[in-house]
Amino acid sequence: MPNTNSSEVRLAPLLDVINNHHEGVSLAELKAALDPSLSLGDDALKYRLKALVDSGRVIMQGSRRWARYFPVDVGDTGIAYSNDSRELARYMSQSTSVRKRSSFDGSLIESYEPNISRYLSTEEQGALEELGSDVGDGQPAGTYARRIMDRLLIDLSWNSSRLEGNTYSLLDTRRLIAFDEEAEGGTATDAQMIRNHKDAIEFLVENAEELDFTRHTILNLHALLANNLLPDPMSAGRLRMIPVGISGSTYLPLDDPHRIDAYFQLTLKKLAEIGNPFEQAFMTLLFLPYLQPFDDVNKRVSRMAANIPFIKKNLIPISFIEVPEQAYSSALVGFYECGDPSMMKDLFVWAYERSAQHYTAVRQQLGAPDPFRMKYRLALQKVLYELITKPVPRQEVGKFIKSWASGNIPKNDQNRFRGVAEIELISLHEGNYARYKLRHSEFLHWKAMWDAQSLT
């Protein structure tokens, strides 16, 4: 059995340096700041940093040589943590060998009274409502989500997958969703995870008017998100019947299948009764993963389900843009172990503000001329015309544009041109095809082929 005290002594110098660098520190900067007498090689240093990150005592942002390490209660995120959050973060920065063992506490769910209990204050709810309202009253459920569907599919699929350690970039995600083009060097698991997110988001938006926190909705959401990712295929869309543990945490979830089922039903009932969409979304992010009703993919289900009230009520969705993976994990584990939602609340409010700003900016930018598009207006017309009139199969689009750009666009602009051309193709519809010098028959022929390939 490893000597825990010895391990803590080895980690303490690293933690001291990181805690004194609120702006973050790189591997090289950390090595330079350590006492030379420690004589730590890069491999030993990386091993100890991984132990600090895995135990929730340090936040890592970036990867490989671009990684930076931050104190768990600060990070370079701009999240306005409250005093309660900082106190919880200090507790969570301790080793799991020091933190108290905890197990599922049903009273957290039982004692919550919808529309009486309140995790978000009325002031916080009002401020978020003001940020999130972007569509006039009286529109059918799902109107706003459909308006930004192309962006929502990419943003939410990428960010939710990123929070699970997915290595796809935002650009890789867009190409996979739009053209079914898998990233070079990417894993089949990463591609499957993103495809599953796309399916789940489409399920929510397509069924916007009937959506609610019902057993049918959440089980099917899990089935879509877990598709082809679980060791037992029968586990997709089925409540957990086996014990599970939480990595890097002292929390032990419920393990009795009958009680899991009962608390699942109670949780859904209470979530469905919450009137405020922001309280409803926040409690979804807390209660579903706390129960761990499924073998795996619980957090992904909670992030998709948190958007149910926003889609139904035509509010800006939450896409978890720029949410740091470690900050999110630490906030959830803080609730698991202590029943304390403070870190998660601060992160949720910040994350929703980021999403609201993002989609508001997207809408405003649509009306402003883009100098790059103006510069390459004729080139964009030409490449789109060739793509559509050939026509180029969906899975070959990325390669075709890359090849075309290498022969027609200056090297420094080729990558950006490729991205812009891809967005132009995704945005093509019967109301704008004429700007690419296309005939109606050419557009219809291409559209039929494009739609058929999206179903295969």
Taking only the tens place, the pLDDT of each residue in 26-68 is 888 888 888 787 777 888 888 888 888 776 677 777 766 778 8
Q: pTM here?
A: 0.76
- What is the Cα–Cα distance from 236 to 219, expressed in whole angstroms? 8
Same domain, 361 and 375: no
Token digits for 414? 């080729």
Same domain, 224 and 134: yes
**Helices 298-305 and 215-226, axial angle in degrees (round to 10):** 120
**Looking at per-residue confidence, does 23 or 67 come out higher?**
67
* Domain-located, residue 93: no
* Domain-located, residue 91: no
Q: Considering only CA atoms, which of 217, 160, 218, 154 is closest in space to residue 193?
A: 160
Residue 38 sits in a domain whose CATH number is 1.10.10.10
Same domain, 305 and 429: no
Non-local CB neighbours of 207 within 8 Å, separated by 6+ positions: 217
Same domain, 312 and 224: yes
Q: What value does the mean pLDDT of the chain take?
A: 88
Same domain, 169 and 315: yes
Mean pLDDT over 401-415 rounds to: 93
What pLDDT was estimated at residue 364? 61
Non-local CB neighbours of 143 within 8 Å, separated by 6+ positions: 135, 314
What pLDDT was estimated at residue 73? 53
The region of weakest confidence among 158-167, 246-255, 425-434 is: 425-434
Which of 15-29, 251-265, 367-381 reaches the highest mean pLDDT? 251-265
**Is the bond preceding residue 369 a cis peptide, omega within 30 degrees?**
no
Asked which of 330, 348, 365 is the last residue of a domain, the reply is 365
What pLDDT was estimated at residue 74? 44
Provide, for the chain, the percentages of residues in helix, strand and coil under a 3-state DSSP scheme, each rounded to the nearest 5: 60, 5, 35
Phi-psi region of 26 (alpha: psi -120 to 50; beta: other; left: phi over 0): beta
Alpha-carbon Rg for the chain, nearest whole angstrom, is 24
Rounded to 5°, angle at Cα 55 from 110 and 80? 70
Same domain, 217 and 122: yes
- The DSSP bridge partners found for residue 315 are 133
DSSP letter assigned to residue 117: S
What pLDDT was estimated at residue 191? 96
What pLDDT was estimated at residue 80? 79
Residues 273-296: tens digit of each pLDDT? 999 999 999 999 999 999 999 999
Q: Considering only CA atoms, which of 126, 151, 134 is closest in space to residue 315?
A: 134
Task: Give one DSSP letter per residue of 334-365, joined into a string.
Answer: HHHHH---HHHHHHHHHHHHHHHHHHHHHHHH
Neighbours of 137 (CB within 10 A): 6
The strand ranges marked E within 74-196 are: 102-103
* Domain-located, residue 83: no
Same domain, 37 and 186: no
Asked which of 340, 365, 390 is the last residue of a domain, the reply is 365
- What is the Cα–Cα distance from 155 to 320, expressed in whole angstroms? 8
* Domain-located, residue 121: yes
Find the domain containing 44 and state its range.
4-76
pLDDT-derived band at 268 (thresholds 50, 70, 90) equals: very high
Token digits for 83? 């005093």
Q: Considering only CA atoms, which of 47, 38, 46, 48 is closest in space to residue 11?
A: 48
What pLDDT was estimated at residue 440? 87
Residues 295-333: tens digit of each pLDDT? 999 999 999 999 999 999 999 999 999 999 888 999 999
What pLDDT was estimated at residue 2? 37
Same domain, 223 and 293: yes
Same domain, 221 and 316: yes
What pLDDT was estimated at residue 1? 32
Same domain, 60 and 178: no
Residues 117-144: tens digit of each pLDDT? 999 999 999 999 999 987 666 788 998 9
pLDDT-derived band at 452 (thresholds 50, 70, 90) equals: confident
What pLDDT was estimated at residue 456? 55
Same domain, 295 and 430: no
Question: How many domains does one find in the chain?
Answer: 3
Which amino acid is located at 147 in the chain?
R
Same domain, 285 and 227: yes
Token digits for 264? 């699942």
Q: What percent of the chain has pLDDT over 90?
A: 56
Q: What are the two backbone dihedrals, phi and then psi, of residue 133, each rounded to the nearest 5 degrees?
A: -80, 115
* Domain-located, residue 250: yes
pLDDT-derived band at 455 (thresholds 50, 70, 90) equals: low
pLDDT-derived band at 75 (thresholds 50, 70, 90) equals: very low
Residue 150 sits in a domain whose CATH number is 1.10.3290.10
Q: Considering only CA atoms, which of 223, 220, 163 is closest in space to residue 190?
A: 163
Asked which of 313, 337, 365 is the last residue of a domain, the reply is 365
Mean pLDDT over 198-218 rounds to: 95
